[in-house]
Amino acid sequence: MEKLESKGGETHQVTDEDHPVLTTNHGVPVSDNQNQLKVGLRGPTLREDEVFREKINHFDHERIPERIVHARGSGAHGYFECTESLEDVTRADLFQHVGRRTEVFVRFSTVTGGAGSADTPRDVRGFAIKFYTREGNWDLVGNNIPIFFIQDAIKFPDLIHAAKMEADRGYPQAATAHDTFWDFMSLMPETTHMAMWIMSDRTLPRSFATMQGFGIHTFRFINRAGRPTFVKFHLKPKAGLVSTIWDETVKIAGADPDYQRRDLFERIGRGDHPEWEVGVQLFDESLADSLPYDVLDATKIIPEEVVAVRTIGRLVLDRRPDNFFAETEQAAFCPSHLVPGIDHTNDPLLQGRLFSYQDTQIKRLGSTNWHQIPVNRAKGREGCPFLNMQRDGHMQMDVPKGRANYEPNSLHLAGEIGGPRETPESGFRTYPAAEEGEKVRRRAASFADHYTQARLFWRSMDPAEQAHIASAFVFELSKVSLMHVRLRMLANLRNVDEELAARIAAGLTMELPEASATAAPVIDMPVSPALRTVRGPLERETLLGRTVGILIADGSDADALRELRADLGKAGAHVLVVAPRIGAMSLSDGSTLEADAQLFGQPSATLDAVAIILSDPACAKLIREVAAVQWVMDAFGHLKAIGHDAGAKPLLDRAGVEPDEGVTGLADFVEAAKRRYWDREQKVRTLA
């Protein structure tokens, strides 16, 4: 029996059990969703079964082409809040008023893997932001690394083909450790600076919430008077810059391929909203001219020590998408989408992107009307998203009124709808840069130096991170079977730093070749501590946003557990009680406690710090359980704090845990859990 019911202003047909009525796409109520229409109980099915046909037909068409790059992604809604007005340098609406919030949708991604690949390969992360400003959508389509591989967009298809699965064999998925990638890299010395960044821990972020974001290119701000200022965009994570180490990330990929997607979803769910300081580097033409590199070259940074990052706002992600496909998958970003007050520069990488994204969205979403999909729709002033004379096309969702689908028109004089008109003063205006020259296919001499900043990066690193970089090169090149490619890479790396090249060569048991020729002299720039991940300015000693696991078993000390859990919670940690069994564990005082996760399902690689509270008999049992021993061994090997009571000591001994400042009693654990123990690394791992 069906009746009509009104909920939240909408009227639904509801069944007796209070569910909305199941209908076909065309609104016809469905009587049976379990069986096809047949002639007789065991007879043939009928072609007239529209309920079945429509359902299967829709299912067959559920997939759209995945993105050629950045296919694997996760998104969230939130807002940008302006905390310092930039009225003097740009007229962009979102930067005018302190306190004004602008809605955003952000999509994070890996680059090389397919949509179903793991979240945690060694890869650059995309950081694409759609700002729904009152003057239209602005897409800042950035990455978590401030530079890019190549200088000119014409090389992008070659770069991506070389990086993705090899063409004949269809592997490796989401990995750069193979012949074709390093063949291309070694033949294109302009990629050397990026090679340094991708071999660093930057490409192994622990969480989307703990990585930096960068707009990469130099853009232009334009103020009300028409004055231009160059700008580079930066995002700094409030939760601190946290990466994993290689062994850890490999283990996470096995334990939970959705690790970062899950983390984003769960963080927002528990109110631990990812947040970034939004900052800008502002500079003018004369500063740009004074630099020994070109600000139009996307393989270069401007060190923060040269142009400081000025914080102008915060980006907060506080709402999960309601539907992954409708929002995250259909979100479409275009660097060409600018708003009044923001403009491009002549960066030849950026210029190529201005064409590519628009083109790809039409292929992927199937229509030029993709801007009408809710997640892509401009919100605009007073809720009016857009108004123009563009009409028709596949999947037109809007119903424009009136006859006026051209401009100019004078229909308004007859009392009809005349439609919108241009606004010369306040509309989007391109900065009138004066340009002249011959048409050429050549690079400027100012783009010729490919090694100075690679050296700057290497020499700015903490020794622990240098060891990770050298070891990552050894790992990746060890997977390269073509000896001439390895040699060419080593020859290039000698121009970066002799010690780096020698460490990698030793790791590969190879002789160093002659250094490759350089097109420009390599300069020693002053080091930039701002670039460090390990012991750098964005490393935070905190438990806010971190996940701590407490391993217990039957008989664990109830008071110690309750106290530790409460203290960790007070310090801002997300606490997971891990036990050999999921469900109720009986504690020392006879009470029971529900474990949040099972030992085998929550390896310590997925946690930021661990504590262990065990009774003597439970510990005696667990030292014979390889998963438990591995749990502790990995926490130690991944340089994490380990807090424990006396009962857990035999398990630590079995796992080879040696005493250091990161191995503490329960009383000191909360403080200790706020960081990693980099000095331990030499004891547990041989690095290049």
- Considering only residues 357 to 386 of the shown chain, the ones binding ligand HDE according to CB under 6 A are 357, 360-361
Our finding on whether 264 is near ligand HDE (CB under 6 A) is no
- Count of Cβ atoms closer than 10 Å to residue 268 Cβ: 20
**Which positions from 288 to 327 touch ligand HDE by CB under 6 A, shown as an x/- string?**
----------x-----------------------------
φ/ψ of residue 358, rounded to 5? -60, -45
Chain residues 73-102 in contact with ligand HDE, contact rule CB under 6 A: 73
Contact pattern for ligand HDE over residues 469 through 508, marking x by CB under 6 A: ----------------------------------------
Element (H, E) at 354: helix 348-365
User: Which of the ranges 52-60, 136-144, 375-383, 422-430 carries the binding residues for ligand HDE, by CB under 6 A?
Assistant: 136-144
Q: Using the rule CB under 6 A, which residue among 13, 96, 173, 356 binds ligand HDE?
A: 356
74 DSSP β-pair partners: 108
Tell me the C-alpha distance between 583 and 595, whole Å: 5
Q: Nearer to ligand HDE by C-beta: 256 or 297?
A: 297
- Least spacing, CB of residue 105 vs ligand HDE, in Å: 10
Q: Tell me whether residue 146 or residue 341 sits nearer to ligand HDE (CB atom).
A: 146
Closest approach of Cβ 557 to ligand HDE, in Å? Answer: 47
Write the CA distances from 438 to 233, 261, 344, 434, integer angstroms: 32, 49, 21, 14
Size of the site for ligand HDE (CB under 6 A): 27
The three-state secondary structure class of 230 is strand
Q: Of 143 and 606, which CB lies nearer to ligand HDE in the complex structure?
A: 143
Near ligand HDE by CB under 6 A, which window of 67-75, 415-423, 505-513, 546-554? 67-75
Smallest gap, in angstroms, from Cβ of residue 529 to ligand HDE?
A: 24
> Which residue is it, tokens 């970003």?
333
Residues 198-217 that bind ligand HDE (CB under 6 A): 216
- Give least dist CB 113 to ligand HDE, A: 13
Report helix, strand or coil for 45.
strand
- Rounded to whole angstroms, the Cα distance separating 318 from 389 reads 36
- Closest CB to ligand HDE among residues 75, 136: 75
Residue 41 DSSP SS3: coil
Three-class SS string for 399-415? Answer: CCCCCCCCCCCCHHHHC
From 69-77, 433-441, 540-548, 574-582, span contacting ligand HDE (CB under 6 A): 69-77
Minimum distance from residue 63 beta carbon to ligand HDE (Å): 15
Residue nearest to ligand HDE (CB): 126
Please identify which residue in 114, 257, 352, 513 interacts with ligand HDE, judged by CB under 6 A. Answer: 352
- Determine the 3-state secondary structure of 392 from DSSP: coil
Closer to ligand HDE by CB, 148 or 447: give it: 148
From the list 114-122, 135-143, 263-271, 555-563, the region that binds ligand HDE by CB under 6 A is: 135-143
Tokens of 323: 């539907």
d(CA 74, CA 320): 10
Residue number with CB closer to ligand HDE (73 or 205): 73
How many angstroms separate the Cα of 577 from the Cα of each of 543, 550, 554, 586, 613? 16, 5, 12, 13, 10
Strand partners, 102: 80
Of the residues 21, 22, 37, 68, which one makes contact with ligand HDE according to CB under 6 A = 68
Q: How far apart are CA 280 and CA 86, in angstroms?
A: 10
Q: How far is CA 279 from CA 215, 315, 344, 487, in A?
A: 11, 10, 18, 41
Tokens describing residue 108: 């994070």
List, in sequence order, every residue forming a beta bridge with 231; answer none if it has no partner.
219, 282
Q: Give CA–CA dist 553/2, Å, rounded.
A: 52
Measure Cα distances from 443 to 146, 271, 439, 520, 547 in Å: 21, 49, 12, 13, 48
Beta bridge partners of 105: 77, 130
Nearer to ligand HDE, 329 or 645 (CB): 329
Instruction: Quickly list H helices, 104-232.
Output: 156-163, 179-187, 192-198
Smallest distance, Å, CB 349 to ligand HDE? Answer: 5
Active site residues: 70, 143
Question: Which of these segments, 54-62, 350-358, 370-378, 543-551, binds ligand HDE (CB under 6 A)?
Answer: 350-358
Binding mask 137-166 for ligand HDE (x = CB under 6 A): ----xxx----x----x--x----------
CB 147 within 8 A of CB 299: yes
Cβ–Cβ under 8 Å, residues 575 and 550 = yes
List interacting residues with ligand HDE (CB under 6 A). Answer: 67-70, 73, 107, 109, 126, 128, 141-143, 148, 153, 156, 216, 298, 331-333, 349, 352-353, 356-357, 360-361
